[in-house]
Amino acid sequence: MGIVAGLDSSPDFTRIVVCDTDTGAVLRQGYAPHPVDTPDGAARPSDVDPQAWLLSLGEAAGGGLLEGVQAIGVSAQQNALIPLDAQGSTVRPAMVGGDKRAQVAAADLIDALGGREAWAQAVGCVPQAAQPVTKLRWLAKTEPENARRTAVLLQAHDWLVWQLLGRPVRRTTDRGGASGTGYWSAATGAYRPDLVELALGHQAMLPDVIGPSDAAGTTPEGLLISAGTGETMAAAFGLGLGFGDAVVSLGASGSVMAVHTEALADTSGMITSLADATGMHLPVVTTLNAVRALRGTAELLGLADLEALSDLAMKSTPGSHGLVMLPYLEGERTPNLPHTAGTLAGLRRESMRAEHLARAAFEGMLCGLADALDVLRGRGVEVRRIFLLGQAAELQAVQAAAPMLFGAQVVVPQPADYAAIGAARQAAWALGVSQGTLDPRTPPVWQGAAAQVLEPGDELAVGQAVRQQFISVREQTHPGAFRS
């Protein structure tokens, strides 16, 4: 068939991979940071000129990188909202990331529709500060003139696809990206324009949601552009996730997502019901405290880095001599305890050693993520295999404890640009369908990610005992925290 490209426009950079359409082998790659003017040491800005994404895209594609490419797929950061006026010009810079300015707006929206349950039933998620629907509410309250001028709503991958196609009259998105907006329901596959009006104060034009294997269009040069999708969905597609697979992502905060056959409405708000890039669903559960709990412990113990913390933890044993850490250092979302603090329980003279505290930090973090997995399992989501992502996944203490605490096979993929690879795979799918060589219901089969596979083995019973120790402390400290 030839070669295709996938580009991932993340919050900080553009990454492009050029892949063989039959095997998915990466043939060439390009990279460029976004030219965003952020002072050294300053936080990433919440407002970004989307032209910066085009500039880095052009730089990453330099040197003939795309020569011979027949189709391009686009992955981009989620929750980046680009409000356009009736002429297609940006009303203001794109609103990106988990914008703390919108926290009050999220609470306003929850109340305006009648509570968390009403939102869960409407669109499968409860408004959070990062979501486009919440940013619309903030815009209406804080920048009313800009809100009045807003006529079209796009997300980052929608806007990039539109630009690549030469800004046609028709604007498109995919179900994966749409499912994170807060005004599209993964359960019904339809927009809720009334929620846009509730947030923005008036209706706005929304992009057409096209199918996973559909093409968004063709450039004047004849290059096919696929539907595109959000980074989470593209990474899942690049990893080759299927039914029975889950992903545990270890960042400062943590997330657990799994492939499922249907959308899940969760009245507690712990599950965000996203759609994937294939026609399936990706329910997601987030914890606020993952690697930040490890970093805090390393600082407390005067250790230079997480590798030193891992080495120290390996000198302890499963159960940390009875020491249990509830790692709710920033409050917590799973369970919903926004104003709580962390807890260290089981202090005895014999447990008050640095290695036991180090081990308790790893076990506390992983048990918190196991709680999130159990939220999904409790709703009928099958979890046979768990992909562990993030730099902390390489730590020996994580790899030693994760299989026994999660109670499943753990796969640690080699680091790669999975979102860009997923975007390329989507491009190959759309290209194959357009040429009549692929079924629109079945994506191309690409070689799986190179990975290390870890089994719980004989330590499963030990892991269950450690989990029970954690659960006992959690229930004693926060009784009924997981009751709806």
105-114 contacts at long range (C-beta below 8 A, 24 or more positions apart): 105/129, 105/134, 105/135, 105/137, 105/138, 105/141, 105/199, 106/131, 106/134, 106/137, 108/137, 108/141, 109/133, 109/134, 109/137, 109/198, 109/199, 112/198, 113/195, 113/198
The encoded tokens of residue 114 equal 């009648």
CB 443 within 8 A of CB 237: yes
pLDDT above 60 for 41: no
Mean pLDDT in residue range 221-246 = 96
Predicted confidence (pLDDT) at residue 42 exceeds the cutoff of 90: no
DSSP-derived pairing of the beta strands 324-326 and 271-275: unpaired
pLDDT at 87 over 60: yes
Tokens read off for 457: 């083995």
- Residue-level pLDDT at 40: 53
Residue 191 belongs to what H/E stretch?
A: strand 190-191
Query: Can you list the alpha helix ranges (DSSP code H) found in 414-457?
Result: 418-435
Q: How confident is the model at residue 472 (pLDDT cuts 50, 70, 90)?
A: very high
Radius of gyration, CA atoms only, the chain: 23
What is residue 201's predicted lDDT score, i.e. its pLDDT? Answer: 98
pTM: 0.92
Chain centre distance of CA 480 = 28
Residues linked to residue 343 through DSSP beta bridges, in sequence order: 326
pLDDT confidence bin for 101, thresholds 50/70/90 = confident
| Residue 484 clears pLDDT 90, i.e. is over it | no
Q: How many CA atoms lie within 13 A of 71 on its CB side?
A: 28
Nearest to 171 by CA among 183, 184, 182, 161: 161
Beta strand 152-155 with 81-84 is antiparallel
Q: Are strands 281-287 and 271-275 parallel, antiparallel or unpaired?
A: antiparallel
- For the cut 90, the answer to whether the pLDDT of residue 72 exceeds it is yes
Task: Tell me what pLDDT residue 408 has.
Answer: 96
Report how far residue 49's alpha carbon sits from residue 92's, in angstroms, rounded to the nearest whole number: 8
For 163-180, write each residue's pLDDT tens digit: 999 999 999 999 999 999
Query: What is the pLDDT of the chain when averaged over all its residues?
Result: 95
What pLDDT, in 10s, does the model give residues 142-167? 999 999 999 999 999 999 999 999 99
pLDDT, average across residues 362-378? 97
- Confidence band of 310 (pLDDT split at 50, 70, 90): very high
Quote the tokens at residue 155. Answer: 């997300």
The backbone torsions φ and ψ at residue 422, rounded to the nearest 5 degrees and listed phi first, read: -65, -40
Please report, rounded to a whole number, the percentage of residues in the chain having pLDDT higher than 70.
Answer: 98
Cα-based distances in Å from 156 to 51, 230, 274, 318: 11, 8, 17, 44
Q: Specify the 3-state DSSP secondary structure of 182.
A: coil
What pLDDT is recorded for position 396? Answer: 98
Residue at 213: amino acid letter: S
346: left (phi over 0), alpha (psi -120 to 50) or beta: left
38 band by pLDDT with thresholds 50, 70 and 90: low
Q: How does pLDDT run across 292-305, given as a tens digit for each residue? A: 999 999 999 999 99
pLDDT, position 449: 84
DSSP-assigned letters across all residues of 100-142: GGGHHHHHHHHHHHTSHHHHHHHHSS---TTSHHHHHHHHHHH
Specify whether the CB–CB gap between 283 and 264 falls below 8 A.
yes
- Residues 305, 309: Cα–Cα separation, whole Å: 7
How far CA 437 is from CA of 20, 174, 299, 430, 431, in Å, comes to 15, 22, 56, 10, 9
Q: How many helices (H) and strands (E) does the chain have?
A: 15, 24
Write down the pLDDT at residue 320: 98
* pLDDT grade for 129, boundaries at 50, 70 and 90: confident
Above 90 in pLDDT, residue 98?
no
Cβ-based neighbours of 210, under 8 Å, separated by 6 or more:
172, 173, 174, 216, 227
Q: What is the mean pLDDT of residues 10-25?
A: 96
> 69 forms bridges with which residues in the sheet?
3
On whether the CB atoms of residues 100 and 243 are closer than 8 A, the answer is no
Angstrom distance (rounded) from CA 394 to CA 95 = 33
Per the CB < 8 A criterion, the answer to whether 86 and 151 are in contact is yes
Residue 54, C-beta contacts closer than 8 angstroms, at least 6 positions apart:
160, 163
Instruction: List, in order, residues 6 or more apart from 318 with CB less than 8 Å away.
Output: 359, 363, 401, 404, 459, 462, 463, 465, 466
Across the range 112-121, mean pLDDT stands at 94
Closest CA to 296 of 320, 335, 327: 327
Kindly state the average pLDDT of the residues 441-462: 94
Q: Which value, to the nearest 10 degrees, does the dihedral of the CA atoms of residues 65, 55, 212, 79 take?
A: 150
By CB neighbour count within 10 A (0-12 exposed, 13-18 middle, 19+ buried), where does 148 fall? Answer: middle
Largest CA distance in the chain: 73
Q: Which is higher by pLDDT, 278 or 102?
A: 278
pLDDT class for 102, splitting at 50, 70, 90?
A: confident
